[in-house]
Amino acid sequence: MTEPPCAVSVRGARTQMRGGGILGYYWYIETDDGGAEASTFGDALRQLELLLFKLEASNLSRRINLVGIGQGATMALALALVWPELIAAVVAVDGGLPANLSSLPLELGDLGSTSVLFVASTDAHQFASAVTELQQRNGRCEVETCPADVRDGRISQWLGRTEGR
Q: Which CATH superfamily is domain 14-162 in?
A: Alpha/Beta hydrolase fold, catalytic domain (3.40.50.1820)
Q: In sequence order, what E strands does the chain have?
A: 14-18, 21-26, 64-69, 87-93, 115-120, 140-145
Q: One-letter amino acid identity for 121?
A: S
The pTM (predicted TM-score) of the whole model is 0.89
Question: Is the pLDDT confidence value at 1 over 60?
Answer: no
Domain ranges of the chain: 14-162
Q: What are the tens digits of pLDDT across the range 66-123?
A: 999 999 999 999 999 999 998 989 999 999 999 999 999 999 989 988 999 999 988 8
Q: In sequence order, what E strands does 20-154 have?
A: 21-26, 64-69, 87-93, 115-120, 140-145
Q: What are the tens digits of pLDDT across the range 66-81?
A: 999 999 999 999 999 9
Backbone phi, psi, residue 137, to 5°: -105, 25
